[in-house]
Amino acid sequence: MRAVDLIVKKRKGKALQKEEMEYFINNYVQGIIPDYQMAALCMAIYFQGMQKKEVANLTMAMVKSGEKADLSSLPGIKVDKHSTGGVADTTTLIVGPLVAAAGVPVGKMSGRGLGHTGGTIDKLESIPGLQTALSREDFMKQVQKINLAIVGQSGNLVPADKKIYALRDVTGTVPSIPLIASSIMSKKIAAGADKIVLDVKLGSGAFMKSQEEAFELARTMVEIGEEVGRETAAFITNMDQPLGTAIGNALEVEEAILTLQGKSQGPLRELSLYLGAAMLVLAKRVQEIEEGKILLEYLLDSGAALEKFAVMIQAQGGNSEVVKNLSLLPQASGQEEVKISQEGFVASVNAEALGLAAMALGAGRENKDSSIDLAVGIKVHVRKGERVCKGQPLLTLFYNEQKRLEEALKITSQALQFSSTPLEAEPLIYGLVTKKGEQDLKLSF
C-alpha cells in the first residue's frame, strides 16, 4: 500500500476502505507520510467528497490516533454536547448543571477559544481558583460523586485531528463537510460519549452561512454517529446575532449564573433548555423533548441547577460564593457605553463583528499561545427586529486598555444596522436532525 496510490484513488472519486484510511492516518501521525501528501488527500476529499461509510472510517481512524477517555465505569448513559462555535454562547455552563441536576452524569471535555468564538475552559477559568486540568482519576471520581465535571481536553486526544486541521487551515481545505464532520465527531467519540447532542450554528457568526450547508453538516455528523454506534442528534441554530447578551469570559460566566438564578430570560436560556432536553431523551431519562424541557425548567426555577454548578465549582477548587456574589469575577477597569443615534428597528446584529470587537479588547486569542484578558468584553443591549429610540443604550464595552477600546469601537461601528421598517422574527432553532429524520422546528424567540 502506498500513499500516492490512495491519493490517486480518491482523486478519481473512489471510496477509500477502512484499512486504507487507517494506513494513511496512522502513517501521517507517525511522520512517515509527509504533510504534502496529506494536503493532497485533503484536496481530493474537498473536490470529490466522501461516502457515508467512508467518512465514518476516517473519523474512527482519527479516534484511534491517540488517547480515548473510558467512561464505562460511570453509571448510566453518558451524553455529550458540542457546539460548532458561536458568539455569546455559554450553553455548556447552563446545560451541564441542568442535566446533572436531572440525574444524568455529565463528564465533559471542553476547549479554549480561538479567534472570535469563545471557549468554555477560558470562561470557567475566570472563576477564582477553579481548576480545569484534572487527572483522569479525579475527573472520574468527581462525575461519580456529583454527576458533573467540565475539564480541558487531554493533550493527546485525537492528535490526527490537530495535525490535519493545521494543514487544512493553510491549504484552503477547511470548508469541506466530510473533513469538518470527522474533525468534530472524532473528538466527541474519543472523549468517551455514548451519545451526542450537537448544536450546528448557522449565520454571520458561524462557519456555516447557509441553511443548506448547515443541514448537510448536521446530517453527515448524525450519519457518522449511527455508523459507529453513537446515537447523535443535531440542532441547527441561529448565529446571525449573538446568542446571549454578554461576549467575553467573565461576562459570559455572569450571564450563565444569572440564567441559572432564573433572572435572565431570552434565547440563551431557551436554547439551553432544548439542548439539555435532547440530552435527557438520549439518556432515556425522558421520552420526549417537551417532557425534558418541562423538567429542566423546574430544576432551573427551583435553584437545583444553580446549586449543582456551585458544587462543581467547589469540587474543582473554585470559590463557589461566585454564584451569589458576581463581583468576585474579574472586573474591567473601564466601561464605554455606545448609544443609538437614530430611531427605527434593528436590522442586523453581526455576531462575527462583535466577536472580533471583543477579541480586539483582549477577550480572545489571535493564536493558540496568546494570553487573554478574562475581564473584558461587550454587553449587547438590543436584538434584531427590536424597535429602538435615539439615545437608547446599544452596547457597553468593558476594557482595560484605551488603545484596545479605540480599536474595538471601530469594529462595532459597523456591527449593527438599522431599518425604518419592522422585520420578521428569525428562528432560534431551524431544525433538528436525528436518525429518525429531520424536524423543521422553526422556533422563534
Report, as residue numbers or ranges, the catalytic residues.
82, 161, 168, 183, 187
Q: Classify residue 240 as left (phi > 0), alpha (psi -120 to 50) or beta.
A: alpha
What secondary structure letter does DSSP report for 84?
A: -
Torsion over CA of 28, 34, 40 and 41, rounded to 10 degrees?
Answer: -10
H/E stretch holding 434 reads strand 427-434
What secondary structure letter does DSSP report for 287?
A: S
Q: What is the spatial distance between Cα 330 and Cα 97, in angstroms, rounded to a whole number? A: 22
Q: What angle do CA 77, 81, 84 make, to 5 degrees?
A: 155
- Judge whether 422 and 347 are in contact, CB under 8 Å: no
Residue 65 is placed in which grid cell? 490516533
What secondary structure letter does DSSP report for 195?
A: E
What secondary structure letter does DSSP report for 47?
A: H
What secondary structure letter does DSSP report for 28?
A: H
Neighbours of 426 (CB within 10 A): 16
**Sole residue written with cell 448543571:** 97
Amino acid at residue number 86: G
H/E stretch holding 49 reads none
Q: Are strands 106-110 and 148-152 parallel, antiparallel or unpaired?
A: parallel
- Judge whether 285 and 102 are in contact, CB under 8 Å: yes
**Sole residue written with cell 464605554:** 336
Q: What is the spatial distance between Cα 22 and Cα 65, in angstroms, rounded to a whole number? A: 9
In 3-state terms, the chain is what percent helix, strand and coil (to 5)?
45, 20, 40
Q: What pairs with residue 194 in β-bridges?
A: none
